[in-house]
């Protein structure tokens, strides 16, 4: 694996190994790629939302204090790039 970083500190290239024998469900990090942007098919800035569990214990017991099992943060935002096809999505669409 390798990563090339430009003078401005942004990653400009990644070198990865294809592992067809691995289990994708156990893979911690996955990558994907986008086509080179053009005027008719630009890359779109997007915000990804991810939600964690609201309660961290499978089953609360009667003596449990709910506050002890509620994580402080359950919503996570990530800035990302997406293909031009996301331009057809409307606000509030879930994909």
Q: What is the DSSP string of 50-86?
A: EE--S-SSSS--TT--GGGGS-S--EEEEEEEE-GGG
Please give the model's pTM, rounded to 2 decimal places: 0.58
What is the chain's pLDDT, residue by residue, as a tens digit (95 residues)?
Answer: 889 999 999 888 888 888 888 787 887 777 778 888 899 889 999 988 899 999 999 999 999 999 999 999 999 999 999 998 898 998 888 87
């Amino acid at each position: 694996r390798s990563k090339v970083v430009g003078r401005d500190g942004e990653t400009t290239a990644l070198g990865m190994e294809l592992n067809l024998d691995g289990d994708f469900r156990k893979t911690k990090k996955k990558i994907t790629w986008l086509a080179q942007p053009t005027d008719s098919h630009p890359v779109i800035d997007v915000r990804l939302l991810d939600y964690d569990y609201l309660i961290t214990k499978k089953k609360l017991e009667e003596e449990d204090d709910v506050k002890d099992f509620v994580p402080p943060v359950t919503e996570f935002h990530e800035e990302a790039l997406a293909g031009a096809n996301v331009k057809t999505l409307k606000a509030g669409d879930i994909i």
